Amino acid sequence: MPVRSRSRSLAAAAALLCTLALAAAPAAVAAEPDEYVALGDSYAAGNGTGWPDLSLSCYRSSLAYAPLIAKARPNTSLRFRACSGAETGDVTGGQTAALSAGTDFVTVSIGGNDVGFADLILSCVNTWDEPLCRSTVAKVDARIDGQLPARLDATYADIRARAPQATVMVIGYPKPFGTNVSCGQASGVNSREAPLLNGVAAHLDAVVRDRATAAGFTYLDPVPSFTGHDVCAATPFVWGKKAGVLDIYHPTRAGYRDGFLPLVRAVMG
């Protein structure tokens, strides 16, 4: 056989063998998506977005940080269980059922409703009743120290038991006020009450951080991201006075997108 013909035959045989090998090889297995479970209260569900398109009863919004992360992060599967008004008992009593041994990431924002943070805001929006505001602050502070630690411990223990391998991120609460409270959004809260409310938020965050750290979880502090974006800022990350009662003193769309989301993505990648 001529050398050239022999070379062509060998090349054809090699090509045939490659084709057969590829046909016999198993199909590439696609990587399993990261399982992300978002738990918590209204600060996780999406109150403040004005867009409860995923659940009206729980005010779950596609503009909250968890759905935004799942949409932007490749190969991420979200189980969104956060619900407006939730307390620690609601997390352990239903939300954590979404967790499993295969859960990769968990976010949770909880504790504010346990201590009556909503009642605190409503008690302090009337500048003419400062004594009521101060007395409510004292009651909430007492609950933060006396009741909340045990409730958080039980909640975090349930999360860890159900998702033993997960990276768990506990997200704190932002301070709503800056030094200026003269804008319409801050209407009803005076310059003496605003620091009281910020102080309660800081107290709540300190206890949440302490118990999250004790549980071996990652605490995410939103205060630096929200600083300069208070209710009277040019670009607020938190609403103040608002027509929708479910939105007052909750994150704006920018707060979820530019305040909370980067904190979580810094951990999740």
Using the Cα atoms of residue 203, residue 205, residue 211 and residue 214 in order, give the sign of their dihedral. negative
Tell me the C-alpha to C-alpha distance, in Å, between residue 167 and each of 68, 102, 181: 19, 11, 38
Q: 219: which strand partners?
A: 170
Q: Considering only CA atoms, which of 269, 246, 236 is closest in space to residue 46?
A: 246
Q: Considering only CA atoms, which of 126, 131, 129, 91 is closest in space to residue 109?
A: 91
d(CA 231, CA 97): 36
- Whether 40 and 82 have beta carbons less than 8 Å apart is answered as yes
| Active site members | 42, 250
